[in-house]
Amino acid sequence: MGAPGLVGRRRERAAISGWLAAALGGAPMLVMCGGEPGIGKTRLATEAADMAAAAGALTRWARAHEGVGTPPFWLWRQLLRPDLAGEGNGPADLPTMIEANSAADRIALFDAVVRRVFALPERSGLLLVVEDAQWADEPSLLLLRYLARELRGARVLVLATHRTVGAGDAGPWRRILADLGREPVTVQVRLAGLDEAETAHLVRAVTDTAVADDVAREVHRRTGGNPFFVRELARMLTTDAALAGPRLPASLVEVVGQRAAGLSGPARRMLAAAAVLGEQFSPGWSTRPRVRPRSR
């Protein structure tokens, strides 16, 4: 069967509906939506885009990429791609200004882009979706900060998703995230895992079967309600016995491995020890002296 739509998130969907209505009424907002990988940020953004379409608003979408050498202002090249390709009525010199990217041109460029953004929703309003902002190039992030400071009165909602784990502390992201958080138009949302009832709903949607409550509870225990993990584990559930052993889907093993690879050596060793100890252990175990067996 096809992938299920957005499960749960009633509070978040209601909030986005309210923010979108406010933005289209002239009270713009920047929503910073954070969460771990697989928690449902993209699905929530898709839901926001559907709401915007239903309200007659225009949506523009951009995504940053990990470990890829992208040109400066890559997010904005995507968001304004129709204008840069000669469609629409954007400033004629905008492509040249982006290519130049000199310090002297930066403020003029920022102002030109903001004017272009404000011109887009003259009648309908605008939703800008930026995915994986933690990997964006610094010029793109600086322009996002500039836009947030100039949003007053515009019919614009900006929804920027970002990872709260695995993003690292290096580079401009953490600093600019803190700057954005201080802007009056900014709202910060952190997505948590699905609850047990929502997890059960998703498991049943994925398997298209009446999965027993105890099986759904076990899936929730193992995944913490992370929708990606729930879907991957649910696909293994041909019988209740599928959860009896330690086997995990290869996709989950790969994701966990990628997360662990980003940790320091000591952190990886601590993680390995914690995995042996289980889900519950004393907080002080990691500070206790280790006794190593004598070599013979």
CB 159 within 8 A of CB 173: no
- Using pLDDT thresholds of 50, 70 and 90, give the confidence band for residue 186: very high
Provide the residue count of the chain.
296
Domain region containing 184: 10-190
Q: What is the pLDDT of residues 210-224, one digit of tens each?
A: 878 888 898 999 899
Tell whether 246 and 183 lie within a shared domain: no
241 and 171 part of one domain: no
Q: Is residue 197 part of a domain?
A: no
In a domain, 5, yes or no: no
Whether 20 and 135 map to the same domain: the answer is yes
pLDDT grade for 179, boundaries at 50, 70 and 90: very high
pLDDT at 270 over 50: yes
- Give the domain-ending residue among 124, 159, 190: 190
In the structure, what pLDDT confidence band is assigned to residue 135 with cuts at 50, 70 and 90? very high
Please check whether residue 154 lies inside any domain of the structure: yes
pTM of the complete model:
0.78
